[in-house]
């Protein structure tokens, strides 16, 4: 039996989630700002994915192993320690832009930012738009 995806789109209210999950007024304010910016940049209305990810648009993937599912194209989570930004695509131009982004930490598929003033939002916009183009070219994407 195939493993079930843990992170699926839900009907939870995004703004209500932000107001209850973000741990201080700054995090709430910046989360609402990111919500507005990512909706504008992506053209997709935000939806909750799982218990704590705010996603914009979705794509369907299928691995050679047969595992398949849906995931947000871009997104974020206002976690206690830092924002988790799900905007990375392994393209050379993204790596070049990350050098201009500002103060952040990077894992394989996630960019961690303590506060929005630590980064250049115009660079984040470029990263998001490149990721959106990449996913739209490679996968069937929906809202």
Q: Give me the domains of the chain, ranges plus CATH numbers.
A: 14-138 (3.90.1150)
The per-residue pLDDT for 108 is 83
pLDDT at 4 over 80: no
The average confidence (pLDDT) of the chain is: 92
The confidence band for 7, taking pLDDT boundaries of 50, 70 and 90, is: confident
Element of type H or E holding 133:
helix 121-138
Rounded Cα distance, 1 and 11, in Å: 27
pLDDT at 62 over 90: no
Q: Is 13 exposed, middle or buried (0-12, 13-18, 19+ CB in 10 A)?
A: exposed
Rounded Cα distance, 75 and 128, in Å: 9
pLDDT at 11 over 70: yes
pLDDT at 69 over 50: yes
The per-residue pLDDT for 1 is 45
**C-beta separation of 22 from 31 below 8 A:** yes
pLDDT at 86 over 80: yes
Task: Name the percent of the chain lying above pLDDT 70.
Answer: 96
pLDDT at 56 over 90: yes
Is the overall model pTM greater than 0.85, yes or no?
A: yes
How confident is the model over 96-121, as pLDDT tens digits?
999 999 999 999 889 999 999 999 99
How confident is the model over 131-143, as pLDDT tens digits?
999 999 988 888 8
Average pLDDT of 38-64? 94
Q: Is 85 exposed, middle or buried (0-12, 13-18, 19+ CB in 10 A)?
A: buried
């Amino acid at each position: 039996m195939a493993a079930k995806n843990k992170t699926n789109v839900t009907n939870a209210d995004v703004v209500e989630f932000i107001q209850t999950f973000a741990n201080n007024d700054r995090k709430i304010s910046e989360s609402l700002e990111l919500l507005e910016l990512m909706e504008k940049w992506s053209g997709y209305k935000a939806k909750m994915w799982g218990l704590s990810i705010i996603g914009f648009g979705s794509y369907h993937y299928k691995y050679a192993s047969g595992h398949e599912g849906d995931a947000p194209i871009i997104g974020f989570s206002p976690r206690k320690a830092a924002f988790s930004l799900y905007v990375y695509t392994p393209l050379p131009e993204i790596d070049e832009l990350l050098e201009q982004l500002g103060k952040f930490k990077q894992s394989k598929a996630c960019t961690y930012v303590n506060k929005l003033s630590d980064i250049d939002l115009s660079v984040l916009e470029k990263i998001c738009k490149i990721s959106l183009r990449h996913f739209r070219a490679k996968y069937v994407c929906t809202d």
